[in-house]
Amino acid sequence: MYKTAVIPTWFNNPLKLTVFLLSSHSLFHFQFNVLEYTAKTTK
């Protein structure tokens, strides 16, 4: 319900949508790198 309320504003504002996608994308990669590093060091 919260997502459906927020999404339309993103499509109305392409810049905000782009910033959100970029920030979530980089955050995902950061988490993945941390997990990968942790897996390597704990082996």
Contact 11, 17 (CB under 8 A): yes
Q: Name the band, by pLDDT with cuts 50, 70 and 90, for residue 31.
A: confident
- Give the residue, 7 or 41, on which the prediction is more confident: 41
Average pLDDT over residues 12-39: 79
Q: Is the pTM of this model over 0.75?
A: no
- Give the residue, 2 or 17, on which the prediction is more confident: 17
Q: Rounded to an integer, what distance in angstroms lies between the CA atom of residue 16 and that of residue 28?
A: 18
**With pLDDT > 90 as the criterion, what percentage of the chain qualifies?**
0
Output the average pLDDT for the chain.
73
Average pLDDT over residues 23-43: 79
